[in-house]
Amino acid sequence: MATPAASASLVQLFRLQAPLRAGCRALHMLAGEPQGPVVKTDIPGPRSKELLTELSAVQQAGSVQLFADYERSLGNYLVDADGNALLDVYTQISSMPLGYNHPDLLRVLDNPYNVKTLVNRPALGVFPGQDWPKRLSSILTQVAPKGLTQLTTMMCGSCSNENAYKNMFIRYRRQQRGENVDFSPEELQSCMINQAPGSPSLSILSFHGAFHGRTMGVLSTTHSKAIHKLDVPAFDWPIARFPVYKYPLEDNERENRAEDERCLAEVEDLFEQWKKKGCDVAGITVEPIQAEGGDNPGSPAFFQGLQRIAHKHGAALLIDEVQTGGGPTGKFWCHEHFDLPSPPDVVTFSKKMLMGGYFHKADLTPNLPYRVFNTWMGDPGKVLLLQEVLKVIRRDELLSVVRAAGDVLYKGLRGLEQEFPNILSATRGRGTFLAVNAPSPKVRDDLVSRLRAKGVQAGGCGESSIRIRPALIFQEQHAHIFLDIFRQVLKETK
C-alpha cells in the first residue's frame, strides 16, 4: 500500500495523465489507483475503533462503519484510517460522480476566483453574485430535463423534495382559486393558526417502499424503514403499492404487465378516495427506481400511466432523481428511459449533482417572493464543482463508460445468480445502478460484511438487497474485480 507521500505523488501523476483522450481514457482514469483492494487489518480496524469511541462521546455514531482517509483515497478506491484500500461500489451512498480526488475537481481550487466563491457564501435568494444567472444558464440549465425551463437550487435531496411539495400545493390552490385572485382575509388569518382555508387539506400521493427524505414533510412520503419514522408525527396522505416485478423481466412480461395495471388502478382509486375525504391529491412523488426501499424499478408503462392519472386529476408528477440523476443509469436522467409523452412536472436532484435542487415547469413557479425560500438556496461552490463534473462526463464519454461497465456487472451478477441460486436472485437495474437479492436480511448483511473484509465497500437496501452504486469512472476492469471477489465470498457462504 502506498505511503501518504507516495499517495501525494500518485495524485500528481493522476493530474498529469488527465489530458489524455479516447483510446487512453481507461489508462488516465486509473493512473495512481491501486491495482486492486489492499486489506491490512480487520474492518473497522484499530484506528477506526479508536475514532468511533471519540465520536460516540459527543453524538450517536452507531451508523458509522469506518473512518476514511480522504487524502489517500483515489479514484474508485476508498482508503480507511487503518490503511485499507477498498474498491468502493457504494460511493458515499451514490453521491460521488467522479470518485475520490479527481484531478479536474482538485484544480477548481487552484483558481483564486473560485476560492472567493467558496469563502463568500451568499444568501442566494437575496444577494446572489453578479455571475449567478450566467452560472445557472451555462451549467445547470444545460442538463435540465427536456421541457423543464425553471430551476430552484437547494442544499440537499430532502430539502429539494420538501420545497418542491410546496410548489405543487401552491399551484394546486392557484388552480382552485383562479389565476390572479388575491388571498382572502380568512386565508391570511387562518393559516397563522394552521387552520383551513389558509392551511388547506391537501395531500401528496407516495408509494410503499419509497424514500424521499427525513425532514418533517417528506417523511410522510417515506416508507422504507420504520426507524426513519418512529415517534415523528406524520400527515395522513395516500400510499399506493409500487410494482414488485418477477425476474428475469424478459421471462415474466405478462405477470409484470398485470402488476403495473394493479398498481395504477390503486393509484386511481386513491385519488378518488382522498377527494371524498376532502383532501385532494395535489401531486404524486415517485422514484424511477426505489433506492433505499430495495432498488425496485418501475417500467416505462407504469410511469406513463402515472403521468396520465396525475394530469387527469390536475395533480403534478414529481420524479425524485436524487439517487438516479447525474448518469448512473446510463442516461443523465433515469426518466429518459421511460419515453414519457410530455416532461414530468418536477424533477428533483442531489447526490451525484453535488448540490440539491429541482427543475420544474413554469406553472409551478410561485408568483410571489419568499414562498419558497431559505437563507442559502443552494451553494455556488458546489455549482463550480458540478461544472467540472459535467465537463469530464462529456469529455470522457462517461455515460458510455457507465453502460459498458453496467453491462459487465449485470451479466456477471446474473451469472453468479445462476451459479448460486440458493443465495442470489432478482438481479435488476439500469447502467451501474444495480441490485441483487439475498435470501434474508441476515444473509445480506453477512455478505456485505464479508465483501468489506475482502476489500469491497458495498451497501444494502430494502429488506435483503445488495445495491451497487459506483462512480461514473467505474470501468469494466473494476467490475471484474468486484465480481471475482463477490464470487469468492459466495463460495465461502455456508
In contact, 478 and 86? CB cutoff 8 Å: no
Q: Is 53 a catalytic residue?
A: no
In contact, 235 and 247? CB cutoff 8 Å: no
CA distances from 487 to 162, 346, 437, 470 (A): 41, 41, 15, 18
From the list 67, 169, 207, 211, the catalytic residue is: 211
Nine-digit cell at 271?
385519488
Smallest Cα–Cα separation from 340: which of 366, 313, 307? 307
From the list 131, 251, 375, 484, the catalytic residue is: 375
Nine-digit cell at 425?
436472485
Q: Is 324 a catalytic residue?
A: no
From the list 88, 295, 320, 345, the catalytic residue is: 320
From the list 67, 351, 427, 432, the catalytic residue is: 351
Smallest Cα–Cα separation from 18: which of 388, 402, 327? 388
Q: Is 320 a catalytic residue?
A: yes
Smallest Cα–Cα separation from 17: which of 109, 108, 102? 102
In contact, 159 and 374? CB cutoff 8 Å: yes
Dist CA 228 CA 246 (whole Å)? 28
Dist CA 325 CA 336 (whole Å)? 10
Q: Is 211 a catalytic residue?
A: yes
The count of residues in the chain is 494
List strand residue ranges (DSSP E) for 193-253, in order.
202-207, 239-240
**Burial tier of 450 (Cβ tally within 10 Å: 0-12, 13-18, 19+):** middle
Dist CA 455 CA 87 (whole Å)? 6
In contact, 172 and 314? CB cutoff 8 Å: yes
In contact, 424 and 436? CB cutoff 8 Å: yes
Question: SS3 for 58-71, per residue?
Answer: CCCCCCCCCCECCC
Residue carrying C-alpha cell 410571489: 368
Q: Give bridge partners of residue 467 from the DSSP assignment.
A: 435, 459
| Helix (H/G/I), strand (E/B), else coil: 175 | helix
List strand residue ranges (DSSP E) for 29-142, in order.
77-79, 85-88
Helix (H) / strand (E) containing 418? helix 398-419
Catalytic positions are: 211, 320, 351, 375
